[in-house]
Amino acid sequence: MKIQGKKFLLIGGAGLIGSHTVEALLKEDVKEIIVFDNFVRGRAQNLSKALQDKRCKIYELGGDILQTDLLEESMNDIDGVFHFAALWLLQCHQFPRSAFEVNVKGTFNVIEACIKKNIQRLVYSSSASVYGDATTEPMKEEHPFNNKNFYGATKICGEAMLRAYHHRYGLDYVGLRYMNVYGPRQDYEGAYIAVIMKMLDAIDNGGSPTIFGDGSEAFDFVSVLDCAQANICAMKSSATDSFYNVGTGIRTSLKELADLIIDLTDCKKPIIYKERSQATLVRNRIGCPQKAFEEIGYKSKKELRSGISELINWRNKHKEEVALRRNKTIK
């Protein structure tokens, strides 16, 4: 899809990935960007830079995907839609009915509205959680769905609904399965990436990073800036009815991550190891980036050391905001 001169709606556009995608879109020759967000997870300050551009605005009537009349109204004259809105993993674990309402029913509302309003293209934010623990490495998109948590179940459902509506109504869409996303504006609500913020908290308080387990658990850490570009690539591409890993393909153990953070912060204390909890979180997940590169032209650019350094710099410049995010999560 050619995006020049087009109007886009970003549902959940004030969140971590959404707000960075807004900024990436503003670097393109687009006509208008409308952010549809209820500001439960997203934050207005995430859009402070973007809103200085007259092409970007917040949808003033609301931002709840469960309010179908407002959702449909927000799509008037829209060409393309990005759907980021969802409850996060641990919320889904604690409140599965709410997760069903938002992640499943809400996504159905988005899909249905796109059909009613003749939206040209939809980019859906799925998750690598659909895979569960890896049985092969790196995981290709054909990897079986070994998910064991409700968050992953809602994302699998979203993918299945999209495929059904594509085959019945011709909905033009692609889905993105993000690996472990990190970067500026990061909060404490990501079950996997919150470990980075907690390690930095410990160092700030004179301690050292804590790892639950032996540190061998490994993940694919991808910069939010790369995720934003993946969304642009997905909207521009001609691919349809398909899902793509958004990651680096690089394996990083928790020990390697902690060692990197210790080096970047000049921490003088060793890693603390504690017994791993029995939470239903995966222990090994690295995505193969080949299909995304070949079919939508996405390739990660941000190296982990550089990306973590940028996160640390952002964190140091936004200490009050980081404290608010931390306190909100603790409560």
- Please, where are the H alpha helices in the chain? 16-26, 68-74, 89-94, 96-99, 106-116, 150-169, 194-204, 224-236, 254-265, 290-296, 304-317, 319-330
Catalytic one of 124, 151, 244, 298: 151
b (16+ CB within 10 A) / e for 27-44: eeebebbbbbbbeebbbe
- 317, two tokens: 């410049």
* Helix axis angle, 319-330 to 194-204, nearest 10°: 110
Helix (H, G, I), strand (E, B) or coil at 310: helix
Tell me, yes or no, if 244 is annotated catalytic.
Answer: no
The residue behind tokens 């839609």 is: 81
Say how far residue 309 (Cα) sits from the centre of its chain. 20
User: 168 phi and psi, to 5 degrees?
Assistant: -90, -40
Contact 63, 18 (CB under 8 A): no
Say how far residue 133 (Cα) sits from the centre of its chain. 19
The residue behind tokens 């399965």 is: 177
Contact 42, 48 (CB under 8 A): no
Question: Catalytic amino acids?
Answer: 151
